[in-house]
Amino acid sequence: MSSTGDQQDSQQVSIERLKLMAELAGLNMTDEEVEEIKPLFDLHYQYAKQLHDVDLGAEEIAVSFEADWPE
């Protein structure tokens, strides 16, 4: 990742970028609505970043489900 990307990861998302993301997602939010959700977005952005920063090594990840229904 470039140094610009690393720098962006260490900062909160700007209000302008959040407005653009909402527009691109087709949410048609007003500026007031975007400003209202920004603190919540920043909180969840930090949680998501922590999950992406976990080093899982070379392990392959798979989800499995066994249906063990009582009869």
pLDDT tens profile 11-31 = 688 999 999 999 999 999 999
pTM: 0.58
Q: Look at residue 9 and tell me whether its pLDDT is greater than 50.
A: no
Q: How far is CA 34 from CA 14, 27, 30, 40, 46, in A?
A: 11, 10, 6, 10, 18
Give the model's pLDDT for residue 12.
80
Mean pLDDT over the full length of the chain: 83
Q: Look at residue 39 and tell me whether its pLDDT is greater than 50.
A: yes
